[in-house]
Structure 1
Amino acid sequence: MFFGGHPFGGGMPGGMPGGSGRAPSSDVDTTKLYETLGVDKNADKKEIRKAYMKLSRTHHPDKGGDAHKFKEISAAYEILSDEEKRAQYDKYGLDGVSGDDVGATGGEDLFSMFFGGGGRSRRSAGPRKGPSVNHPMKVSLEDLYNGKTVKLAVNRKIIQGTPVECTKCKGQGAIMEIRQMGPGMITQMQRTCDQCGGQGQQCTFKSERKVLEVHVEKGMREGDKITFSGMSDEVPKMEPGDINFIIQEKEHELFKRKGADLLAVKTVSLNQALCGFTWKVKHLDGRTLVIKSRPGEVIKPEMNTKEALPFVKVVPDEGMPSKGNPFVRGNMYVMFRVEFPNDNELPKEVVAELRKLLPEPDVPENYNPDEVEEVHLSPADLRSFGKGGASHSSNEAHDEDEEGGGQQVQCQQS
């Protein structure tokens, strides 16, 4: 359950970071990725990114570079630019990150990618990693703006005692079955051992409860992951998997978010659009912003573009903080909707004053009322455009009659 936050239903598999208990091997290679990017092991994020950008421009396949070399560079950057993955690599080498989907290559291909298939195989690289568990975490836009730490209690299963080999499958995790399909015909099928669940070992488990601190970083976005390594249930012959909390952004009553930018919609009257407005806004960090139009500034119904785009203004640097660099923020966009007077006619004295004050008044047309036909406008819906005139079915019947498709009447002469 959460303490000071929204609870997740039911118990969850889990564990504490670094709970795998695996000691790094003395012959682990922890320099290959740094050599691939040509940086020192003490290089910071900025140096690593700079090296990656330089190498990727040179070796990109679209620019004549080697595709395999480009994959190596990309995979090395993906691991070293992530603090958690980099720490795992510095401690365990490629063993520590082989369970992650690095560069969309799959963990088993990392050794062959960097060592040409001649390095250690996946089997000799150490125990496999168990499956990760993903849980959605709904977070308000205010918490994504300011950051927040939430305490969460999880339950995980840990192995009690020493696992023993499964007697039914003899440690293989699967058993072979022979079935007779017909006279003189048999088939051999392999299925998962139902006694050990495919693990090859049998053991007893006990439940362990841990209280975790889930830190929501400033500027996080929808779909971002907060990962706790090695915190899933313990599994025989495997390292515990991870628990990932996936950010789900709650809908906000005022702001819409895209990237690091915010968008708010403001409805103004025709008077405010022409004469100015003042709008008090409570920002996501609790500050009160007063947004004012400048003297003489006109808010229009649409932008002066070929496309009919809404009229938009921007407040610079009042958007969301950037993840990893919260001092750099996006912008706050304000989209305007101009509300014109309702369908009731304006008083004649008001119309007369407006005609004097507003620019470009109507110039009366010269015509003889007896020679022209005066018409007036009625409310309409553009969705009805093209549906005027007689009904479609009547038109079809009329067309059939003209084409001789209707009933033929013959006269018999005696």
Structure 2
Amino acid sequence: MTKDYYAILGVDRKATKDDIKKAFRKLAQKHHPDKGGDENKFKEVTEAYSILSNERKRREYDSYGRTFAGGGAGASTGGFDPNQFSGAQGQGSPFGEFDFSDIFSGFSGFGDIFTGGEGASQVARGRDISIDIEISFKEAILGARRSMLIAKVSKCEECVGTGAKKGTKMKECSVCGGSGRMHETRNSIFGAFSAVRTCKECEGTGKIPTERCNVCSGHGVLRREEEISVSVPAGIDNGEMIRLPGQGEAVKNGTSGDLYVKVHVKPHPIFKKEGVNIVMDLPIKITDALLGSTVPVTLIDDKVLEIKIPQLSNAEETLRVRGKGVHAQGAQGDLLIRVTIALPKKISSRAKKAISELKEEGL
């Protein structure tokens, strides 16, 4: 379920940056672990602020209920990245003048609350990405498979993401001594904190290549076009998102992010979807409405169905054809046919005479 970041901070959806900042500062001091607060609540309000204080992430959250800008290592599926607190203050930080690297990277007595303890090692995670596709109404009802080329950061096929030249060995990182972690003490507006960080040289692995891969220059990843196949399930709605785990951007020595596909369904000139039912209007002649008739109707799967129009059918009367709607996830909808009376643009003298006789009969 999507988190309501506005409710977490106790602000309105139209709240200004200053409103959000004030709400966060108050809650951060209240729930700070070193001040006896709730650690999980503290992380929750921090996550909410990391999204709502960033204009781009806030727009994505308001539009999709999540963000896609997680940025390389450590990016989370919700768009919240604990590693982003290690960025510099100012333009490079998603928080503007707040220097959260001093506040949240680690806590005395708690280890690193974002990695589960001082000895824990956080697995790097690639960035989530999103794309939009447009499909026909028929594809939305029956399901489809689409293939497309996407330019994204992918794992280097030469070194399989290690960054090392094929056939060479890895060696111990001289910066962290092979631990993959760096210990620091920093000051913040809340006081001094003991922080445990991932080593930037080896990216937390404790190993570095003796020779770098000559394809990716040791990065383990590179940007290239990759063909992605998307299975569109039958019965999908306009604006619905399809999640493809592991199909997002790759990161060295970590797991790939996810790909989110937003589906746009083109309107159909005849059919509409209402839940699991398909709805259409069927214009019939006055005589067919009075006397009854059988009318051929072409369905969304191009099959032709003979629809029986009962005698004395009223305008806007709905006929139900069971089992001819959406078939998806065990549900089986119906085809709903709304009968409309199609009046002629002009009538002959003979027709006028016949209608006059009907009028005399009280019809």
Query: TM-score, with normalisation over the residues of structure 1?
Result: 0.42
**If you compute each CA radius of gyration, which structure gives the higher value, 1 or 2?**
1
Query: TM-score, with normalisation over the residues of structure 2?
Result: 0.47
